Amino acid sequence: MGDVSLSFAGCDFLPLPCGALFWPGQQMLILADLHLEKGSYFAGHGWLLPPHDSLDTLQRLERAVRETGARRIAALGDSFHDNDGPSRLLPEARMALAALMGSVEWHWITGNHDGESAGTLGGFVHAELVIDGIALRHEACPGIPGPEISGHFHPKVTISLRTGGRVTRRCIAMAGQRLVLPAYGAYAGDLDIGDPAFVRALGGRPRGVVALSGGLLKVDASGRPGPAGRSGGKELAA
Ligand SMILES: [Fe+2]
């Protein structure tokens, strides 16, 4: 687990390499865009993909819960790829999700892909959730002032290495009082933080925060390293 925290809206957070954001003060894991059952959705439309994406995603989440000791989870929408996703969970993935939901207080935020459908599995369902003055919602709302943490855009960044070559990693997009979390789902596609959609959504050109096993790498929207994090800047291994 990364040991470098990210200060945001007066609170300390731990971005984790798996893609989740841990909020120690709330004992809460926040994650976005699980897109569970995306594989079975595409299989139903003639695109055959291995049907193991849900279990892979949930096993990563189970490890994150175990390693952080989180007692609450907030899933920021598009937790399933479509409204029928909950009914297509295979038994092993269904049991893994049920075990997770039985071990923590679970909050589903509604998304544009899944609406309220995940709530059929239990947990609390919200259009948005405000904790300590920070809004947790699916998609950034630039017209609403105040700090927010959202998902929806699946941010990634391509970084030029000092040793040559380039690597692309999922990242947090951060601008002013707004954070956009990377997609957590195994099959979710990603959007580069240099895309104009981020400026429209966040009201400014974002920086990227890449969580590594030993700390945070902060870059600008072009992937150039920015001001070092608390642990100092880190070179990304390919
Ligand atoms: Fe979305």
1: in domain = no
Q: What pLDDT score was predicted for residue 227?
A: 58
Structure tokens at 228: 């070092």
Q: What's the gap in Å between 140 CA and the centre of ligand 1?
A: 10
Q: What is the pLDDT of residues 121-145, one digit of tens each?
A: 999 999 999 999 999 999 999 999 9
Q: What's the gap in Å between 7 CA and the centre of ligand 1?
A: 25
236: in domain = no
Q: What is the pLDDT of residues 95-123, one digit of tens each?
A: 999 999 999 999 999 999 999 999 999 99
92: in domain = yes
Residue pair 74/129 in contact by the 8 Å Cβ criterion: yes
Helix (H) or strand (E) holding 219: strand 215-219
d(CA 171, CA 185): 13
Q: What's the gap in Å between 163 CA and the centre of ligand 1?
A: 36
Q: What's the gap in Å between 151 CA and the centre of ligand 1?
A: 7
Structural domain boundaries, residue 150: 6-219
Q: What pLDDT score was predicted for residue 53?
A: 85
Closest CA to 226 of 174, 183, 184: 174
Q: CATH number for the domain including 166?
A: 3.60.21
Closest CA to 139 of 124, 158, 129, 152: 152
| SS3 per-residue string spanning 44-113 | CCCCCCCCCHHHHHHHHHHHHHHHHCCCEEEECCCCECCCCHHHHCCHHHHHHHHHHHHHCEEEEECECC
Place of tokens 């239990």: 122
114: in domain = yes
Q: What pLDDT score was predicted for residue 236?
A: 52
Ion ligand 1 — residues with CB < 5 Å: 78, 111-112, 152
pLDDT tens series, the chain, 238 aa: 344 899 999 999 999 999 999 999 999 999 999 999 888 887 777 777 766 789 999 999 999 999 999 999 999 999 999 999 999 999 999 999 999 999 999 999 999 999 999 999 999 999 999 999 999 999 999 999 999 999 999 999 999 888 888 999 999 999 999 999 999 998 888 999 999 999 999 999 999 999 998 899 999 999 988 754 433 344 454 3
56: in domain = yes
User: What global pTM score does this model have?
Assistant: 0.91
Closest CA to 76 of 132, 28, 8: 28
Domain count, the chain: 1
235: in domain = no
Q: What's the gap in Å between 210 CA and the centre of ligand 1?
A: 21
Q: What's the gap in Å between 78 CA and the centre of ligand 1?
A: 5
234: in domain = no
Residue pair 202/164 in contact by the 8 Å Cβ criterion: no
| CA distances for 193 relative to 13, 186, 205, angstroms | 21, 19, 8
Contacts of 214 (CB under 8 A, 6+ apart): 2, 3, 231, 234
